[in-house]
């Protein structure tokens, strides 16, 4: 991963952090000049991380040597990074060896398929790190589409969402934007773990060219998990549904379980059961 990617990530996280939100409740005076920098200034991050200002400035300009684990930890604390963002920072800095696809994509564990089969009546499917649907249950096929009729390269959640947008998807305010940004976050994290995955890189270029929300999420280095997204669907037989798309990572693998649920006792919940 290039030092420019690390520099861009640090800058964007610095700009996201307000001075009043810094660790310990510390605040920084505006000084003689008005605060024109969004978020924290470089010298403020350097002070919080206890590194020299010149070194931090070189980091953000992609001109500094690779930071040590101790410096990365201090920067992560200063910038209030989440667990996912700390992992992302470490990978960008080359502190974690990138994963590889040994002989092809990872095989779906048998336990994952058993879990999927046990979700009776709950639409659910499993995606890999490229967001390709690798397994699904009958309820998911009834709600979204018959995945078995799609070519393998079309069983991608973003491609499916793009194809169905305006027909099945009617959208809640910001819902499709949240979905696109979540997908960008998942692919961004996967791209750092698999920097030589050309298929993944092609997917990113394809989605960024056609989806402004995806492109924005990608540029922002958004890797914070968004486990639930509210969606509105117009189903040909069940009518309009208001449901939640819930994503759970399957421990010890690169797969995630996606489930669609509705508020208990709601018309949408009854309609899901009827599918």
The pair of structure tokens assigned to 138 is 């009958």
Provide mean pLDDT across the span 101-114. Answer: 69
The residue whose two tokens read 């099945």 is 168
What pLDDT does residue 25 have? 47
pLDDT at 32: 45
Using the 8-state DSSP alphabet, how is residue 224 labeled?
S
Tell which wins on pLDDT, 105 or 269: 269
Between helix 175-193 and helix 198-210 the angle, nearest 10°, is 160
CA distance 234 to 240: 4
Residue 151: C-alpha distances to residues 12, 126, 134, 253 (Å): 38, 17, 12, 24
Indicate the DSSP class of residue 54: H
CA-based nearest residue to 178, from 192, 195, 161? 161
Question: Above 50 in pLDDT, residue 228?
Answer: yes
Query: Domain 110-274 class?
Result: alpha beta
* Tens digit of each residue's pLDDT (9 = 90 or more) over 179-226: 788 888 888 888 888 888 888 889 999 988 888 888 888 888 877 766
pLDDT at 102: 45
CATH T-level topology, domain 3-92: 434 Repressor (Amino-terminal Domain) (1.10.260)
- Residue bearing the bigger pLDDT, 274 or 28: 274
* Per-domain residue ranges of the chain: 3-92, 110-274
Rounded to two decimals, the pTM is: 0.70
Identify the H or E element spanning 50: none
């Amino acid at each position: 991963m290039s030092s420019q990617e690390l520099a861009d990530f640090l800058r964007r996280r610095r700009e996201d952090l307000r001075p009043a939100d810094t660790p310990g409740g510390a605040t920084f005076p505006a000084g003689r000049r008005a605060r024109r920098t969004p978020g924290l200034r470089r010298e403020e991050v350097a002070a919080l991380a206890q590194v020299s200002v010149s070194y931090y400035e070189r980091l953000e300009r992609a001109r500094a040597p690779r930071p040590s684990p101790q410096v990365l930890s201090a920067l992560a604390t200063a910038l209030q990074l989440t667990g996912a963002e700390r992992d992302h920072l470490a990978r960008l800095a080359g502190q974690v060896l990138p994963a590889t696809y040994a002989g092809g994509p990872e095989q779906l564990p048998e336990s994952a398929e058993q879990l999927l089969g046990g979700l009776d009546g709950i639409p659910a499917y499993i995606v890999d790190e490229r967001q390709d649907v690798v397994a699904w249950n009958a309820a998911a096929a009834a709600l979204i589409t018959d995945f078995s009729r799609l070519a393998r390269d079309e069983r991608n959640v973003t491609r499916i969402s793009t194809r169905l947008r305006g027909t099945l998807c009617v959208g809640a305010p910001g819902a499709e934007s949240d979905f696109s940004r979540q997908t960008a976050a998942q692919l961004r994290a996967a791209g750092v773990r698999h920097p030589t995955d050309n298929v993944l890189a092609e997917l990113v270029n394809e989605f960024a060219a056609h989806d402004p929300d995806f492109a924005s999420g990608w540029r922002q280095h958004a890797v914070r998990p968004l486990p639930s997204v509210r969606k509105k669907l117009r189903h040909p037989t069940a009518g309009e549904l208001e449901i939640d798309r819930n994503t759970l990572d399957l421990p010890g693998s690169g797969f995630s379980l996606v489930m669609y649920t509705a508020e208990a006792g709601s018309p949408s919940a009854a309609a899901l059961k009827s599918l």
